[in-house]
Amino acid sequence: MSKVNTTVHLSGLTMKNPVTTGSGTFGSGLEMKDYVDLTKLGAITVKGTTLEARPGNISPRIAETPAGILNSIGLENPGVDVFIKYILPQVAKYETPIIVNIAGSSVEDYGEISSILDLEENVAALEINISCPNVKNGGMAFGTNPQTAYDAIHQVRKNTSKPIFAKLSPNVTDIVEMAKVAEKAGADGLSLINTLLGMAIDIKKKRPVLGNVMGGLSGPAIKPVALRMVYQVSQAVNLPIIGQGGIVCWEDAVEFLLAGATAVSVGTGNFLEPDATMKVAEGIEQYLIDNGYSDVNEIIGLAWR
């Protein structure tokens, strides 16, 4: 029996501990079942799902950096119908809340996919990836413009009664403004941050390393930025936050909780250590014990409270 309470509540989503997985770094969860006890995760956030199957971007899709990775996967996935029919039932057997990350190319896409997933009792919550290009607006990402961000989130809100978490892009001038937009649009919570836009160049070929030229930077390099944004946003809105960005160990996770996150998501850390989520969950619990806390909620936002 645990000596401390690690349960957290995020606007209709209850997690047995504050640790979930970063979308796109953990597959559906099934790929990691030999390394991680999926029943011991607070939630499983599955990779980005779209209305139709997507082949992803051209190769190369991954580039290593000194303190992280650049990725340009391009939301490769089999589409929502295949996910519901073949993947969701298998993941649901582990009885851990499933958060489905959704993406679209138009506001209408977001509404349609959320209405489909709203019917699935095994889906606990939706995470809205608003870093996707808006094909009707010149390819600009939904999440970099307050109006298009609002439109995408609000469209999801109108089409589901499930908790929705807006995954905010850090590639903006004012993250607090975007968080307030998400709150106004009806988000139940926030996931922050998504990847920072970056690139790498091969000096021998004198060409960009990634086939898509630019990609998302994740890993330890972005942690200070993510931490700062969680710290700012948690004081500005009345929404629970799933903090993410460079969390590779329990110490990183505790920093995010102290900054104001209610839960944390381990992403690139899964590539470094397949059981990183387990180590983070166990480390948080031990930290609470060692510091005399009986409940994880006691330390949320302690850095500014």
What CATH number does residue 52 fall under? 3.20.20.70
What was the pLDDT predicted at 135?
A: 64
| 225 located within any domain | yes
pTM: 0.96
| 23 located within any domain | yes
What was the pLDDT predicted at 27?
A: 84
Pairing mode, if any, of strands 241-244 and 263-266? parallel
| 197 located within any domain | yes
Rounded Cα distance between 168 and 192, Å, is 5
| 305 located within any domain | no
* 8 Å CB contact between 19 and 263: yes
| CA dihedral sign, ordered 42, 48, 53, 56 | negative
| 145 located within any domain | yes
| 68 located within any domain | no
pLDDT at 137 over 80: no
Rounded Cα distance between 134 and 38, Å, is 34
Distance (Å) of CA 82 to CA 52, 78, 125, 142, 249 = 9, 6, 18, 26, 34
For 101, the 3-state DSSP assignment is strand
| 207 located within any domain | no
What was the pLDDT predicted at 134?
A: 67
* 8 Å CB contact between 244 and 265: yes
Rounded Cα distance between 256 and 260, Å, is 6
Q: Please tell me the total count of domains within the chain.
A: 1
Over the stretch 26-51, which tens digit does the pLDDT of each residue have? 989 999 999 999 999 999 999 999 99
pLDDT at 140 over 80: no
Pairing mode, if any, of strands 98-102 and 68-71? unpaired
| 188 located within any domain | yes
Q: Give me 129's structure tokens.
A: 């990836």
pLDDT band at 1 (very low <50, low <70, confident <90, very high): very low
What was the pLDDT predicted at 24?
A: 87
Percent of the chain residues past pLDDT 90, beyond the cut: 92
Over the stretch 177-223, which tens digit does the pLDDT of each residue have? 999 999 999 999 999 999 999 999 999 999 999 999 999 999 999 99
Across the chain, mean pLDDT equals 96
- What are residue 129's DSSP bridge partners? 167
Active site residue 132: yes
**Phi, psi dihedrals of residue 302, rounded to the nearest 5°:** -65, -20
Over the stretch 70-111, which tens digit does the pLDDT of each residue have? 999 999 999 999 999 999 999 999 999 999 999 999 999 999
Active-site annotation holder among 100, 116, 132, 296: 132
User: Which residues span the domain enclosing 283?
Assistant: 8-58+73-202+216-299
pLDDT at 2 over 60: no
Rounded Cα distance between 44 and 209, Å, is 31
* Helix, strand, coil % in the chain, rounded to nearest 5: 35, 20, 40
